[in-house]
Amino acid sequence: MITLLRSLNSIFLLATILSFNSHAESGVPTCPAEFEVLERHPGNGSQYGFVKKTLDDLYCTNSFEGKYFKIVYSTEGEAIPFSYANKEVLKKAANVYYHLSRARNYWIKEIKSQYVSELPQTIVRIDITNGYSSTRHFKHAEQEKNENNAWSVPNGQTPENVTEKEKWGKEIWFSPMRKIESKKFMKDSKGQNPIHQSLLLVNDPIIEYNKNALIYQALSFLIVPDITNTALLNLALQRVGTIAVIMSLTEGSKYIDGWFVKKYYYVDTAMIPEIIYHEFSHIAMSDTMKPVHSIPVIEGMADYFAALIAERRDMYEAIKEFSSNKTKKTDNKSLYHPYLEGQWNATSDFTLSLLWKGKTEFERINRERWKKGQQAVGNYDNLVFDAHFLLNESSNISTDLAKSLINVCHKKCLGSRMGIDTLHNVFEKKGLN
Ligand SMILES: [Zn+2]
């Protein structure tokens, strides 16, 4: 026992010395700590395990505060200490800290984002139910209650004339999980955050329903004729009504059973790695795309980088204990329709699949060129990243996103003609003309 303690002590000392050395430039010592975090099974995304990982860059305060992230409980100001009584909160704090660090590393090492490397410490709130107020930071609890969601908020401050002045930087908020019966959720859907709706999929498109949905419905029936007369569709119409069915059709037939198989809707956003990567990606692109509302382009861009960080082709798959979420697929086959531009489709995976199609096409062409000893046409991930400089939080898919990719390729692709032709092919294959 003593020997063990002694060797633990010397390990601790060694770790501290190493940290002192490695962070000599900032002058503030850091103390790495080990915690268990959630990792998905590489092959089967609904399977997972808790894996011991080192949390780096933590200050030596025995709390979840480090150089780049500070994890706090709800609206509080101090970091959650390692001695916090609620073990569930500790689990989420460690998970969020680890996956945010991983996302940050990716943005710096792989994407080489100068902006991310210069970001000040980001405050991360877990189990927060308040809504965001651009003038008060937090809305009063009785005004709004958020659950099963996550979002990024822009920096802001209270107006000049108020007595209690407050200033805040960019933050990431994770609200708690609550199991809600799907049918009920669809009927009286509320609590959507006006600032930034998350990527959650049974979110509120139903109340945003408008006549365009009918057009898209017709289109969907044409694209996926195999489902028009199935027993499943009839059952769907009886059980949840026409509007819900229309909405579930917006992405084609493959989701339709999801509405009935899952009786409950819930997601513990702080436990799902890709949701954490998605939120950090919003912060990483907030130099041009402010996280003030969510529409398909800003969400699809965040999904794209989340997929790269997670190294996954399917995203946000349900995990029995933590989430009943609908999966987003990078290879979603759905075609473009103006209906998809609406805010009600911010949670769709169309933009993700459009961007991903470009990736697979560029990689195919690059491979062929390498075989012939030729240089790559371009690094597609860099093109997508550079495109974000030409976009903002209101950009749409058909003109803004498509044009900015082409403009970036015009400057950066080797033999821009081939790169631009490839992009045009991708757009056509996804129904953009
Ligand atoms: Zn988002």
Instruction: Residue count of the chain, please give it.
Output: 433
Report the pLDDT value the prediction gives residue 61, as an integer from 0 to 100. 97
- Residue 257 neighbours by CB under 8 Å, 6+ apart: 232
Tell whether 7 is covered by a domain.
Answer: no
How close is the Cα of 199 to the center of ligand 1, in Å? 5
Q: Say whether both 241 and 291 belong to one domain.
A: yes
229 C-alpha to ligand 1 centroid (Å)? 35
pLDDT of residue 254: 38
Residue 253 lies in a domain: yes
| pLDDT above 50 (res 146) | yes
Distance between Cα 233 and ligand 1 center (Å): 30
> Which of the listed residues 174, 197, 212 is the one where a domain comes to its end?
174
Q: How far is the CA of 188 from the centre of ligand 1 (A)?
A: 23
Instruction: Give me ligand 1 centre to Cα 12, in Å.
Output: 39
- From ligand 1's centre to the CA of 194, what distance in Å? 12
302 Cα–ligand 1 center, Å: 6
Taking all residues of the chain, what is their mean pLDDT, rounded to a whole number? 80
Tell me: pLDDT of 298 over 80: yes
18 in a domain, yes or no?
A: no
Q: Ligand 1: distance of its center to the CA of 172 in Å?
A: 11
Between the CA of 267 and the centroid of ligand 1 the distance, in Å, is: 15
Interval between CA 430 and ligand 1 midpoint (Å): 22
3 state DSSP class of 210:
coil
Question: How far apart are the CA of 10 and the centre of ligand 1, in A?
Answer: 44
pLDDT tens digits for 349-408?
889 999 999 999 999 999 999 999 999 999 999 999 999 999 999 999 999 999 999 999
Contacts of 167 (CB under 8 A, 6+ apart): 155, 156, 157, 158
Beta-carbon contacts of 161 under 8 Å, excluding residues fewer than 6 positions away, are: none
Q: What domain range is 417 assigned to?
A: 351-429
227 pLDDT above the threshold of 90: no
Tell me, in angstroms, the distance from the centre of ligand 1 to residue 114's CA: 22
In this structure, the answer to whether residues 262 and 276 fall within a common structural domain is yes
With respect to residue 3, please indicate whether it lies within any of the assigned structural domains. Answer: no
- 12, 100, 132, 168 from 136: Cα distances, Å: 43, 26, 8, 10
- State how many domains the chain has: 3
Measure 406 CA to ligand 1 centroid, in angstroms.
Answer: 24
**Which pLDDT tens digit goes with each residue over 268-296?**
999 999 999 999 999 999 999 998 877 88
What is the tens place of the pLDDT at every residue in 48-106? 999 999 999 999 999 999 999 999 999 999 999 999 999 999 999 999 999 999 999 99
List Cβ neighbours of 388 (8 Å cut-off, separation of 6 or more).
285, 288, 289, 301, 404
> Which of 174, 209, 233 marks a domain boundary?
174
50 pairs with which residues across the strands?
38
CB 41 within 8 A of CB 47: yes
Task: Indicate whether 39 pLDDT > 80.
Answer: yes
Q: How far is the CA of 151 from the centre of ligand 1 (A)?
A: 6
Kindly state the DSSP code that residue 325 receives in the 8-state scheme. P
Does residue 56 form part of some domain?
A: yes
Q: Which residue has the higher pLDDT, 99 or 256?
A: 99
Check residue 376 and give its pLDDT: 93
198 has a pLDDT exceeding 70: no
**pLDDT of 210 above 80:** no
Q: How far is the CA of 300 from the centre of ligand 1 (A)?
A: 8
C-alpha–C-alpha distance, residues 83 and 71, integer Å: 14
Cβ–Cβ < 8 Å for 397, 350 = yes
**Are 153 and 184 members of one domain?**
no
Q: Do 188 and 122 fall into the same domain? A: no
Q: Ligand 1 centroid to 160 CA: how many Å?
A: 30
Dist. CA 200 → ligand 1 center (Å): 9
Instruction: Say how far residue 263 (Cα) sits from the centre of its chain.
Output: 24
Give the closest residue to 247 by CA, choosing from 275, 293, 205.
205
If you measure from the C-alpha of residue 275 to the centroid of ligand 1, how many angstroms do you get, rounded to a whole number? 8
Distance 235 CA to ligand 1 centre (A): 32
Amino acid at 265: Y
Whether 42 is in a domain gets the answer yes
Residue corresponding to tokens 């680890």: 98
Evaluate whether residue 44 is within a structural domain: yes
> Rounded CA gap, 125 and 146, in Å?
13
Q: Choose the final residue of a domain: 148, 174, 200.
A: 174
355 lies in a domain? Answer: yes
> If you measure from the C-alpha of residue 277 to the centroid of ligand 1, how many angstroms do you get, rounded to a whole number?
10
**pLDDT exceeding 70 applies to what percent of the chain?**
74
Give the range with max mean pLDDT: 199-208, 213-222, 227-236, 422-431: 422-431
